[in-house]
Amino acid sequence: MIGVVELDRIRVDGRHGVGAEERSRPQQFEVSVRATLDIAGAATGDDIAEALDYSRLADLVVEIVEGESFHLLEALCWRIASAAQERFDVQRVWVKVAKLHPPMPVRLAHAAVEVEIEGRSGR
């Protein structure tokens, strides 16, 4: 039984950007994650030990966004996706990272990058 666990728009501050000014002070980011995995054990057993604990997934996102620094959203997005795939028993991971109110000559709500990686076969 295949299912999807989704975390939508985790709001976290980080120091990411091409310019030194962007990395000198925290900025707001929103991160969304979708993980595809076998949910049969969790669905039939109603046991957190058989599930992807989404609080741990959220903690991973916060750990990376707050604790590391990247020039590009692509690199940050890839880091989150690959770390999620390494840490959890998932088949596919999709991550979207949005920088809220990026320093640009035009006004916009956010700039974002999405990545999706696949590779593990699940349980």
Catalytic residue among 12, 99, 102, 108: 99
Active site (annotated) includes residue 96: no
CA neighbours closer than 13 Å in the CB half-sphere of residue 119: 11
> Where on the phi/psi map is residue 17: left (φ > 0), alpha (ψ -120 to 50), or beta?
left
Residue 108 CB partners (closer than 8 Å, separation 6+): 101, 102
3-state secondary structure of 95: strand
Active site residues: 99
